Chains A and B, each alone.
Chain A
């Protein structure tokens, strides 16, 4: 029987780690989807059918969480009792904030540039590069059990992921 009191990693059958094999995640999720599909429970009792729906939604949430590096990192911290998603104002390194401000100012000025698409592409590449470095940093922090450092790294990822959303939004606006 499935157990939804397990964490997503255990439920899906992957080691609790930041570095996960995405193709393994896809395989495991397909297997479980087949196994848990409500159609297979159609002939069973109401209770079992309800359970199946519950498993499916737990599985879908789990797969979405483990697939995204940011959600996965946040979830690993949550398993350690650290919630980085509901913090309001947290002291952030001034240099990092300054950099975030500058990146956002740069994004704001892009529509007025001669070649906004090229500028946007450059900015996105730069931000993606920063995110990649932060993901590597998080993997290392987490593995070493340096949870304070890992938490700071996730907070930085949250700022940059938000910036990526803003970049994509501007891209849509330029296209539209």
Chain B
């Protein structure tokens, strides 16, 4: 399959790969998986006291499109409020990366991951 240049760029130079401390109460972790292709994605956000995402990290085991989708979304969410981040749509990722229809689910995975990370952060804070 032909990947777009943007996918290849993110795949070869993924942004923000890494891991944050789960125990840190300012960190939210989203872990999602796509059983159909066996892809696993972890996305973490570090949130300031006023609810702004200061940093984001990811680790994805999957195809180029899944890696590119998560890499792109970590770039996008930095500086966003939690609300803005949870409103991000997979279609925006798919469009930016010019994902073919069979790879749309990779962008869905990234959307689910950021939502899960925000939910995890909120749950931690409410405790």
Determine whether the beta carbon of B32 is less than 8 Å from that of A89: yes
Chain A residues with Cβ under 8 A from B108's Cβ?
88-89
Contact A87 to B36, CB < 8 A, known contacts A101-B42, A101-B59, A101-B61: yes
CB distance from A2 to the nearest CB of B (A): 31
Give Cα distance in the complex from A166 to B38, angstroms. Answer: 10
Is B109's beta carbon under 8 Å from chain A?
yes
Chain A residues with Cβ under 8 A from B34's Cβ?
87-90
The A interface, classified by DSSP as helix, strand, loop or mixed, is helix
Chain A residues with Cβ under 8 A from B37's Cβ?
162
- Number of residues of chain A lying within 8 A (CB) of chain B: 24
Chain A residues with Cβ under 8 A from B39's Cβ?
162
Chain B residues with Cβ under 8 A from A158's Cβ?
35-36, 38
Chain B residues with Cβ under 8 A from A94's Cβ?
31
CB distance from B78 to the nearest CB of A (A): 22
Query: Which residue of chain B has the shortest Cβ distance to A100 in the bound complex?
Result: B40
Chain B residues with Cβ under 8 A from A1's Cβ?
none
Chain B residues with Cβ under 8 A from A90's Cβ?
33-35
Determine whether the beta carbon of A97 is less than 8 Å from that of B32: yes
CB distance from A131 to the nearest CB of B (A): 13
Chain A residues with Cβ under 8 A from B36's Cβ?
84-88, 158
What sequence of 0s and 1s flags, for each residue 95-121 of chain A, a beta carbon within 8 Å of any chain B beta carbon?
001101100110000000000000000
Query: Which residue of chain A has the shortest Cβ distance to B39 in the bound complex?
Result: A162
Chain B positions within 8 Å of A, measured between CB atoms, are 31-40, 42, 59, 61, 104-105, 108-109, 112
